[in-house]
Amino acid sequence: MRPKLLLVDDKDKFKGYASYSDCHAGEGKRHRAFVTLLFDSENRVFLQKRRHKLFDGLWDFTAISHPLRINGKTESYQEASDRALKKEMGINQVQVRKIGAFNYFARDGESCENEYCAVLIGNFNGQIKANSSEVYDNKQVAYGEFISDVKNNPTTYTPWAVKAIKIVKKNIKGV
What is this structure's pTM?
Answer: 0.95
Mean pLDDT of the chain: 95
In the structure, what pLDDT confidence band is assigned to residue 54 with cuts at 50, 70 and 90? Answer: confident
CATH number at residue 84: 3.90.79.10
Whole-number Å distance between alpha carbons of 15 and 17: 7
Residue positions annotated with a catalytic role: 115
How large is the average pLDDT for residues 82-98? Answer: 97
Is the model's pLDDT at 53 over the cut of 90?
no
Whole-number Å distance between alpha carbons of 47 and 159: 15
pLDDT tens, position by position, 131-146 = 999 999 999 999 999 9
Whole-number Å distance between alpha carbons of 55 and 44: 24
Domain that holds residue 139: 4-171
Specify the number of domains making up the chain: 1
Which H, E and C letters describe the chain, residue by residue? Answer: CCCEEEEECCCCCEEEEECHHHHHECCCCCEEEEEEEEECCCCEEEEEEECCCCCCCCEECCEEECCEEECCEECCHHHHHHHHHHHHHCCCCCCEEEEEEEEEEEEECCEEEEEEEEEEEEECCCCCCCCCCCEEEEEEEEHHHHHHHHHHCHHHECHHHHHHHHHHHHHCCCC
How large is the average pLDDT for residues 75-104? Answer: 97
In the structure, what pLDDT confidence band is assigned to residue 175 with cuts at 50, 70 and 90? Answer: very low
In the structure, what pLDDT confidence band is assigned to residue 109 with cuts at 50, 70 and 90? Answer: confident
Q: Yes or no: say if 48 and 128 are a contact pair by the CB < 8 Å rule.
A: no
Whole-number Å distance between alpha carbons of 138 and 60: 9
Whole-number Å distance between alpha carbons of 96 and 116: 18
pLDDT tens, position by position, 10-51 = 999 999 999 999 999 999 999 999 999 999 999 999 999 999
In the structure, what pLDDT confidence band is assigned to residue 173 with cuts at 50, 70 and 90? Answer: low
Nearest to 41, CA basis, from 96, 120, 123, 140:
123
Whole-number Å distance between alpha carbons of 15 and 22: 14
pLDDT tens, position by position, 66-78 = 999 999 999 999 9
